[in-house]
Amino acid sequence: MSLKIAASCVNCSACEPECPNEAISAADGIYVIDPAKCTECIGFHDDPQCALICPIEETCVIDNNYPRYQPAA
């Protein structure tokens, strides 16, 4: 899985520099997460950083369209 950003994003940019994988970037009016880069912060932090700093609840959420991230063994 990866995280994704919902349409409730207010475009504040707070999440972007917090991502340890540089997976977040500005798109059209909201920010987006690149699922190929997002590791759910596994290997870096206890919790997804984007979700922790995001001022809008339920905006940085798990995207079930992607399989669970597997840390390299």
Partner 1 sequence: MELSEREVAEAAVKAGASADEIMKKMAEHKGCETNSDGGKKASCGTEAGQNDLAPEIWEKVKNHPCYSEEAHHHYARMHVAVAPACNIQCNYCNRKYDCANESRPGVVSERLTPEQAAKKVLAVASTIPQMTVLGIAGPGDPLANPEKTFKTFDLIAKTAPDIKLCLSTNGLTLPDHVDTIARYNVDHVTITVNMVDAEVGAKIYPWIFYKHKRYTGKEAAQILTDRQMQGLEMLTARGILSKINSVMIPGVNDQHLVEVNKAVKSRGAFLHNIMPLISAAEHGTVFGLTGQRGPTAQELKRLQDSCEGEMNMMRHCRQCRADAVGLLGEDRSAEFTTEKIMEMDVNYDLATRQAYQARVEEERLAVSGAKANELQILAGVESDIKILIAVATKGSGRINEHFGHAAEFQIYELSTGKGAHFIGHRRVDLYCQGGYGEEDALETVIRAIKDCHAVFVAKIGGCPKKDLLAAGIEAVDEFAHEFIEKSAITYFKRYLEGVKDGSIIHVEKGDAEIRPGEVAVDVAAVAAE
Q: How far, rounded to the nearest angstrom, does the alpha carbon of residue 44 sit from its chain's CA centroid?
A: 13
CA 37 – CA 40 distance, rounded (Å): 9
Positions of E strands within 1-73:
2-5, 24-26, 31-33, 60-63
Q: Is residue 10 at the binding interface for partner 1, with CB under 8 A as the rule?
A: yes
CB of 3 to ligand SF4, least distance (A): 4
Residues 25-54 contacting ligand SF4, CB under 6 A: 30-31, 33, 38-41, 48-50, 53-54
Judged by CB under 8 A, the number of residues near partner 1 is 15
Contacts with partner 1 by CB under 8 A lie at: 10-14, 16-17, 45-47, 49, 52-53, 55-56
